[in-house]
A and B are shown apart, each in its own frame.
Chain A
Amino acid sequence: MRLFEDEVTLDKELNDFTEKHKKNLGLVSLDVPLISNLDVWVNIALIKQYHENLSADKAQKLVLSYLTRYSLDHISNKRNPDLTNKERFYVMLLRAAMVRNSIVAIDRPFTIIPDVQDDRFIYDALKVVDDSFKECHIFDYLWSKDRYGMIPV
């Protein structure tokens, strides 16, 4: 967990972090949106297909198995604008987890899921796929500290 006083500092730190871990970075951020003309499963599968040359069939099966963990297999053929905030967060997190030896960085999670009060939802979401990433770092503002009870600050 990394908390910052203002937007400028947070953006700078996040930039430095992404540069440092560019090879294994799995970024979850509103600035890194899902590709709107691709289905959910293609958005997630793209990482494995592009970097590991995994066939479309195998990649789709893999993605469906991950979506099933969240009981979200029914959204696999939906597109970004049709998703709820929570669904979008799950999909972004899964996409980030697809990176090999992934270092997941979640940028201001409550801007992606504004209807969520505390970090219980984020904690649960991470727990489900914690076998898929090496590290996870959350970047947020200092004043959001109170919203984080489950995740150690």
Chain B
Amino acid sequence: MINAIARIGTTTINVTRTFRDILSFAFTIILKMFNKNSYNSATRQVLIHQIYFTSVQILPLFIGISIIFGTLLMGIVLQIIKNLGLAEHMGRILMDLVVTELAPFVTVLLIALRSSSAINAEIAVMKVNKELNTLDKFNIKAVDYLFLPRVINGILSVVLLSALFSILVLTSGLLFSKLLFGLSLQSYSNVLLSSANFYDIVISLVKCCTFGFFITLIPIRFGLRATNDLTSIPISVLNGMVDVFIAIIFIEVLSLILIFI
């Protein structure tokens, strides 16, 4: 019994420490983000490369998934709307479902699977290879040169790809709205535009930014926890990715609560 309580206590302390650690690191990064001295030719170059790796290289896969997944989903959703006789709420349902919920979630999952794991492994390998020591010896702040561009890239990538996902899915919805409801392009656009709510777009934007921030920040933090041992790399990636998914679910739940309050 005492052992069980001790285990619960230890787990709670560890979780609290991790949470505090990540929040404190997040605070440091946010401060750096708004400090113009953090930006120079080297950090801009890293940022451009990161955007290319995260947002551009993934485009063919991302567009393919958006079109296939989006077309199927829109077909099903519009069919259900028709069957339930909710045609007059079509615009609102599509905007809420696609723009506010689905687009950020699908985008963040894809980027987390591809880029978060890569960032985690990259930082861990740099730590093991003493490359972070190199930066330190040459008075290059790892926060400015390595971490900040990656976090900014995370935010930009999730926002931009999420917008792209919304556009592609809503465009594929045009096909089904024509087949099921006989709506023209003009009418379909009017339905969507009249349903667009500024508050929803702000929520969606804030959610994308928060997703992008944490799915890059957490892998960096866990990458830094690697020791000088090569075997610490997979452990660091594993722990980091688990926490990334917990963070995604946490942010999603929090945003749902905010929307429904």
A, B from the same assembly:
yes
Residue of B nearest to A34 (CB): B134
* B129, B131, B134, B135: most-surrounded residue (chain A CB, <10 A): B134
B113 within 8 A of A: no
Chain A residue total in the interface (Cβ 8 A): 26
B139 within 8 A of A: yes
A35 to B247, CA, bound (A): 30
A13 to B19, CA, bound (A): 40
Contact segment of B40-48, B78-86, B155-163, B172-180: B40-48
A34 to B133, CA, bound (A): 10
A76 within 8 A of B: no
CB within 8 A of B131: which of A25, A33, A47, A53? A33
How many Å from the CB of B91 to the closest CB on chain A? 47
Chain B residue total in the interface (Cβ 8 A): 20
A54 to B42, CA, bound (A): 8
A37 to B119, CA, bound (A): 12
B145 within 8 A of A: yes
Is there contact, CB below 8 Å, between A31 and B133?
yes
Given A22-B139, A27-B137, A32-B137: A50 in contact with B41 (beta carbons within 8 A): yes
Residue of A nearest to B134 (CB): A32
A47 to B43, CA, bound (A): 12
B126 within 8 A of A: yes
- If A33-B131, A36-B125 are given as contacts, then 20 extra A-B residue pairs at C-beta distance below 8 Å, sorted by A number, are A18-B137, A25-B138, A31-B130, A32-B130, A33-B130, A33-B134, A34-B134, A35-B131, A35-B134, A36-B129, A36-B131, A37-B122, A46-B42, A46-B138, A49-B40, A50-B42, A50-B43, A50-B138, A51-B139, A51-B140
Using CB atoms and an 8 Å cutoff, list the residues of chain A in contact with chain B. 18, 22-23, 25-27, 31-37, 42, 46-47, 49-51, 53-56, 59, 95, 99
Q: Pull 23 A–B residue pairs with CB atoms less than 8 Å apart, ordered by A.
A: A22-B139, A25-B138, A31-B133, A32-B134, A32-B137, A33-B131, A33-B134, A35-B135, A36-B125, A36-B126, A46-B42, A46-B138, A49-B40, A49-B41, A49-B45, A50-B40, A50-B41, A50-B42, A50-B145, A53-B41, A54-B41, A56-B45, A99-B138
